[in-house]
Structure 1
Amino acid sequence: MASQSQPQETKTLPIKILFDKQTNKVVAVEATNDFVDTLFSFLSLPLGTITRLVTTTTNSNNNNDQQLPEPPFPSSINNLYQSVQNLSPNDVWNPVCKQMLLRPRNPCEALCSKLVLNVDDTEPARKVYVCGSCDKFTTFPNLVCTCGKPVREPHNLDSPGSVEAKGGVFVKQNETSFLVFDDLKIVPNSFVNSVPLLLKMGYSDLTQLEEITQNIGKHEILKILKYALTSHEPLTNAILGCDSKKKDDPLHQFASAVRARPKTDDSKMDVKVVRSKSQNKIIFAEANEDFVDFIFSFLTIPLGSVVKLLGGNSFVGCVDNLYMSVETLDSSWCTDSHPLLLNPGLALQFGCPNQPLNIPDVEPPSYYYGTADTRKTRTVYVKYQGNVDQVVTIEGGVISKSRGLVYNPRTLTALDPRSPNRLKEGVVGFVKRPALYGVGDDLKVKLLSAISCYSYLKELNLPLDDIEVKVLTIGEAEALSLLGASLTSKFTLTSGLEDFLDVAKQGSTLTSKYTQNKRQRLDDVLKEEPNLEA
């Protein structure tokens, strides 16, 4: 195992590459648990972190930012990220809200910090900041307390790093190794395991295969992450630098896939969809802050939770193979932390309150603030040697999750950036209220302006009489379809919502107000809705 004190940019992992010399294609890689741990950690990364890490990587040779030839997702997620970048300070409650979306925290950050090669450079929530006047705390250093005072860092009596990874992070550390195939199927390094996979790929003749040994570092790992999202051959693309076939966008697959889901008591929100009748596609949606917070929160969802929500069918590169490898790996090869990758969930306070997907948001821990009573033993020299207790008070107060460690303890209340008053009771989301937004088919989000909408329709050469407006309720089924389409399609609204617009024709069982009365057609419902003026 590499030294933990060594900078991530200079660390490397040894791998043995089995490649086809005729086609110049990686067949499989033989690697240790450290390499597999890093690949498995991809599932813990939020979508916003993946977008940031892969779009710009650091060239360690010249310290310049090297732009990869393509964005990390062949979809609209990149536009969503750029829309957050373009938010002004007046659009969000505070600067922390914007940073939460651009640099979302990894829910498994304590575990990933134990990786030999960790690609996630997001600032972890290791420190706790307190306003001693109001007895409030936060893990965001730049958040101002409700009283207007800046928070500060007290002495923390708890041991840093609450999660210990013994003998490996997600897979056990031992003398054996793993086989990682080009499509990111991962199995223990066994002859019996490898033969069926090699035969399936057409390699009954081993004479065309050669071996090379190579050390790969953070830059190569980031390239594997990028191609894992866009290619069927990420190892060939990243290690050998060869092109590969790309998968076409699976338009409309998500809506059909989630139609059979049972109804649930999920949160719902209405959006007004502006549609072109001649082009049979959605042009944009007029939506309030709840819907915008919801789609912005896609950036905070870890990749593993996305695959879990979509039932293992994300249709994103080889991500589903990676997820299945984690899911099917025998428990004897895994650490106790391994199951977390199958549904990492959201980091503390990074969820969307009005969330149709009902992804659990971790509750903040209880902290106690007060003074310390640290008794140290020292040797004093009088007529005889003896031990006495010395009371040492740490200036500025202390904080701990254990009430018994603090003198005169006061229970702290968590500050929350997703609120105008930064209190839990007022949490609504990331963007300010009230506001109306225009959400493009490609998930470009802007504050709504009637004149800008007219200009946009003029650019598209769409007359007003070609436009129709429909009102759609976004529940769990629609939300899942949008999430899936956002990862694979450049036309997310059309791909994710078009099939839901004609509910009666499709015979849908969607969890929406349009299906609560099966005799009522969508056209009748729309007559009751106010007209949209673009």
Structure 2
Amino acid sequence: MADTKFQLKLLVDNEAKKVLFAEAGKEIADFLCYLLSLPVGTIARLLEKNMVGCLGNLYESIKGLSETYMQPNQNKNSLLNPKSPISSTEIPLLLSDHEFESRKVYLCDYCNSNVADNPKIVCPSCNRKMTREVPYITASSKSVGTSTAAVGEGGFVRGVVTYMIMDNLVLKPMSTISSITLLNKFNVKDVRTLEEKVVDFGIEEGVKLLKASLECKNVLTSVFLSSIEPQKSSS
């Protein structure tokens, strides 16, 4: 997964020096949806020392906190490495496949009426520890005998659709009318100042996008414009 790359097509206004919007396929649209499923603890871990504000400080302080201060049915790992509820092998995930594969859930071995993600948790029905390990099935899991129609394409959004991603990460289906409307909205006087650029999008770009989304409202410009060579003026 680390080497997975997808293409993102940008419409750049060279005069205003900004990305107006991007055209993307299902994979990158899925990635943006996937970001919403990430727990705050995971975001803090992914960005480490690069976080804006105090969330990184909180993460580091909990990391250094002794287990002595934790409740008997809790552990620091559940806070420092929380489990994202969604996985899909078709998008460039920020989390490794191992993190998803190692996920475990537990049932009460006596009443089978509750489920937990921590074997230290006590069943509220019978007051016994929930130690019976069972498989964890996600929306993208493919079981034997499951039809393709039932499983779907995987991910979040439908394929065979081109999606428009705005500089502020607004996501919507692409259409010719919406593109023309946007050019008017951005007050583009001369279309010759516009240029189409294709960039690679993988895990490295995904982390940068996540960080920028917490810092500014011109995410695509912030992440990609610095890596785009300025257009040479004709003599």
Cα offsets for 1:28-77 (capped at 9, x unmatched): 2111011011012211111111111122xxxxxxxxxxx6xx41xx3222
Which residue of the partner structure matches residue 41 of structure 2?
48
Which residue of the partner structure matches residue 38 of structure 1?
31
Q: Does 1:184 align with 2:169?
A: yes
**TM-score of the superposition, structure 2-length normalised?**
0.74
Match of 2:178 among 181, 185, 193: 193
Q: Does 1:87 align with 2:72?
A: no
Higher strand share: 1
- In 2, the alpha carbon distance for the partners of 1:49 and 1:235 equals 22
Q: Is the 8 A contact 1:34 1:168 kept in 2?
A: no
**Unmatched segments (≥5 aa) in structure 1:** 1-7, 56-66, 243-534
Could you tell me how far 1:78 is from its partner in structure 2?
2.3
Q: Which amino acid aligns with 2:37?
A: S
User: Alignment partner of 1:53: what SS?
Assistant: helix
Which residue of the partner structure matches residue 123 of structure 1?
99
- In 2, the alpha carbon distance for the partners of 1:9 and 1:104 equals 21
Q: Does 1:13 align with 2:6?
A: yes
Q: Which amino acid aligns with 2:94?
A: V
- In 1, the alpha carbon distance for the partners of 2:118 and 2:99 equals 10
The alignment covers a number of residue pairs equal to 211
**TM-score of the superposition, structure 1-length normalised?**
0.35
Cα offsets for 1:161-193 (capped at 9, x unmatched): 35245135221111x301112111222111111
The change in CA–CA distance for 1:94 and 1:218 in structure 2 (over 3 A counts) is farther
Task: Report the aligned-residue RMSD.
Answer: 3.3
The change in CA–CA distance for 1:184 and 1:134 in structure 2 (over 3 A counts) is closer
Q: Is the 8 A contact 2:5 2:201 kept in 1?
A: yes
User: Alignment partner of 2:46: what SS?
Assistant: helix
- In 2, the alpha carbon distance for the partners of 1:137 and 1:190 equals 45
- Give aligned-pair identity as a percent: 30
Q: Is the 8 A contact 1:51 1:78 kept in 2?
A: yes
Matches within 5 A, 1:33-432: 33-55=26-48, 70-71=50-51, 74-94=52-72, 96-106=74-84, 108-109=85-86, 112-121=87-96, 123-124=99-100, 126-129=103-106, 138-140=116-118, 143=120, 151=131, 153=133, 156=134, 161-164=137-140, 165-174=151-160, 176-241=161-226
Question: More relative contact order in 1 or in 2 (CA 8 Å, sep 6+)?
Answer: 2
The change in CA–CA distance for 1:150 and 1:36 in structure 2 (over 3 A counts) is closer
Which residue of the partner structure matches residue 418 of structure 1?
none
**Unmatched segments (≥5 aa) in structure 2:** 141-150, 228-235
Q: Is the 8 A contact 2:209 2:220 kept in 1?
A: yes
